Chain A
Amino acid sequence: MTETAAFSRTDALRIIAEVLHDQPMVLTLGGTVREMIAVTGRQPSHLYVLDSMGLPVPIGLGLALGLENDERFRRVTVVEGDGSLLMGFSVLSTIGLLKPSKLLVIVLDNGVYLATGGQPTAARTTDFAAVARACGFDAKDVDGPEALRAALAESLTHPGPLLLRVKVGTEAPSTAFFLEDPVVLAEDFRRWLKGPTDT
């Protein structure tokens, strides 16, 4: 792990959205949702978790289990933060148990609870990739934009669940509140999952 931020969360989100543009994606709460919307606009393939700290990875795990045999999707991605992952840390053990083949967990690790003022998390002393491997699935640290782009491309053919821990900075760009009705968000995502022929 490195203490030096390689690049900003927004830059990481831009690369993630570009490489995984046609795959279902769960986005963690706070600035991540707002920054992704600033980058891509609202996308029906993106499930925006507006609150529910600790829940994005379990939600993605359920999706990955449910879409295991759906040939339209190669990866079910969760973009998670270090603070939210730590709140639901037991899910790494459940992923190792169930081994959902399509699940990709991207941890954008800025080491702080950025949305609440930058208080430090325990990420500084936690090796997320090592924990994932100890739980029984593959993981690695990714440093910098080119390494992230390569790791994401590789993930599309990687067999089995995968965790990528990406060190990002603590920049907090000004973004508008996202106040859409959660019912609409869920229904848009569900319709996108079903595909045009089933809606």
Chain B
Amino acid sequence: MSAAADPRSQAIIDGVEQLHPEFVLELPSSTLKTILGHFIDRPGVRTFPIPREEEGVGILSGLSLAGRRAVMIIQDNGIGNLITALSTFPQAYHLPMLIITARRGGLGEYNSMIHNVSERAERLLDAANFRYFQLDHRSPIREWAPSVVRTYEYAQITHRPVFLLVNLMGG
């Protein structure tokens, strides 16, 4: 399956694989189909769906406290759901976690309202004082997988949640 993946999705898969995750928490998006499909089918990694982003924040917090390697993969229109949970628990308690977040909106968007949240993702994260890094058309594809690893390490070093915003739509 992964051999047929688009280069950006494949790079994210490669980067997450290099983390040797024990758990992958996922909330589906059409743009994440390839990445989530890889981990859902992959033996050796416990991949499971979360029904809401804030529930994932709680589960990821517990895994972090237990010292387990985990990553959450969501879409940016769910950022609004998790702000309070992320602010009051892992951000306040200094729990490291990586949240890979697929971008929507911008040129090529086909949904008539998702841009209302997605195109303001950075401003929402800035307002909430959440650290993030970005991968998009400005980033050479060779840097994508290493950036996943470096963002995970950054979260561990700075003891806080960190987002990696990834544009899988071409923007």
**A interface residue numbers (CB < 8 A to B):** 26, 47, 49-52, 54-67, 88, 90-91, 93-94, 97-98, 182-183, 185-187, 189-190, 193-194
Contacts and interface: CB of A to CB of B under 8 A. Distances in A.
Interface residues of B, number: 31
Interface of B: 23, 46, 48-52, 54-68, 70, 84-85, 88-89, 92-95
22 contacts: A52-B58, A54-B54, A55-B54, A55-B58, A55-B89, A56-B58, A58-B59, A62-B59, A63-B65, A63-B66, A65-B23, A65-B62, A65-B66, A65-B68, A66-B62, A66-B66, A66-B68, A91-B55, A94-B49, A94-B59, A189-B65, A193-B66
B93 A183 contact: yes
Given A66-B63, A182-B93, A90 B51 contact: yes
B52 A90 contact: yes
Given A62-B63, A62-B66, A193-B66, A94 B93 contact: no
A93 B64 CA distance: 22
Give the most central of A52, A97, A183, A189: most B CB within 10 Å: A52
Nearest to A51: B88
A90 B48 CA distance: 14
Given A51-B88, A94-B48, A186 B95 contact: yes
A43 to B, nearest CB: 15
Contact of B46 (A49, A61, A65, A90): A65
Contacts of A193: 65-67
Given A52-B85, A58-B62, A186 B93 contact: yes
A66 B61 CA distance: 10
B88 to A, nearest CB: 4
Interface of A is mostly: helix
A65 B88 contact: no
Which 4 A-B residue pairings sit nearest by Cβ, starting from the closest? A62-B62, A58-B58, A66-B66, A63-B62
B63 A65 contact: yes
Contact of B65 (A50, A51, A54, A186): A186
Contact of B48 (A51, A97, A186): A97
Given A62-B61, A94-B48, A186-B65, 19 more contacts: A26-B62, A51-B92, A54-B54, A57-B58, A58-B56, A62-B58, A62-B62, A63-B65, A65-B46, A65-B63, A66-B62, A66-B63, A93-B51, A94-B51, A97-B48, A182-B94, A189-B65, A190-B67, A193-B65
Give the most central of B52, B62, B65, B84: most A CB within 10 Å: B62
A59 B48 contact: no
B25 to A, nearest CB: 9
Contacts of A98: 48
Given A60-B62, A88-B54, A193-B66, A54 B23 contact: no
Contacts of A51: 88-89, 92
A74 to B, nearest CB: 15
